[in-house]
Amino acid sequence: MNPRLLLVEDDAVTAAFLAQALATLPVRLALASDLAQARSLADGGEALWLFDAHLPDGRGDELLGSLRARGWRVPALALTAEDDPAALARLQAAGFVAVLAKPIGAAALRAAVTAAMATGMPGPRPAPSPAPSSARAAWDDAAALSALGGEPDAVRALRRLFLQELPGQAGTIAAAWSARDEARLREHLHRLKASCAFVGAAGLLDAARALHAAPADAGAHARFQADAAAILSGAAAQS
């Protein structure tokens, strides 16, 4: 029987990409979307844990600590779009064998997973995504194809899911901004940034990064909502 891998990721687009990337490996994948579900699914017999660093009900390092407290020594990888050195250091100190930066290509993900399952040592760590540009197109097809292993069908499928999720995400972000709920705003922007990177939504990714960096900025929020609306209207015009 193939070894079992527990993946914990709350963003639907990111989870779909990760599951697809791992589908070619000889593993059985169990998927959880939060800490509570992960704690219920984990049994200590997994070959690997793959945890997002930020989850709706807590952090990936908290989840790892709670499972380690049960006496389980399963190797674990962390996934994060975070670039703050202190946050990355916290993940490494928590005991993850490697911290993988989002977006990560399918081949790099499989290499890291295979290495961690085989040796328990850190796998290759991909380079961070490029710095945002002030004038990027709405869609970066080359970036999406690179992230998804050069598979156009995978890009189209994940973009459809992304466009289904985007209206709700934009609405939640608007509500959090209006309520001046910075923590909630940053949480949802963090998730959206990862999705944007996987599907190549370059313009919206830049806008999300700008709003995440300046959550009280009315101009940054207006730009974000305008870019989200433009992507949705463009998709509607093509359908």
Which pLDDT tens digit goes with each residue over 114-163? 888 876 533 344 433 333 333 346 788 998 888 888 888 988 999 999 99
* pLDDT at residue number 37: 97
Q: Residues 147, 107: one domain? A: no
Kindly state whether residue 101 falls inside one of the protein's structural domains.
yes
Query: Which residue in 139, 38, 50 sits closest to 97, CA to CA?
Result: 50
Q: Please, how many CA atoms are within 13 Å of residue 185, restricted to the half-sphere of its CB?
A: 22
* pLDDT at residue number 150: 85
Query: Domain boundary at 119, 153, 178, which?
Result: 119
Q: Residues 100, 21: one domain? A: yes
Q: Residues 44, 93: one domain? A: yes
> Which residues form the domain of 58?
4-119
- pLDDT tens digit string along 82-107? 877 778 888 888 888 888 888 888 88
* pLDDT at residue number 119: 64
What mean pLDDT value characterizes the chain? 86
Decide if pLDDT at 169 tops 60: yes
- Give me the mean pLDDT over the 215-233 stretch: 85
Say which range, 68-82, 135-149, 164-178, 188-202, has the weakest mean pLDDT. Answer: 135-149
Kindly state whether residue 210 falls inside one of the protein's structural domains.
yes
* pLDDT at residue number 122: 39
Kindly state whether residue 47 falls inside one of the protein's structural domains.
yes
In percent, the amount of the chain with pLDDT more than 90 equals 48
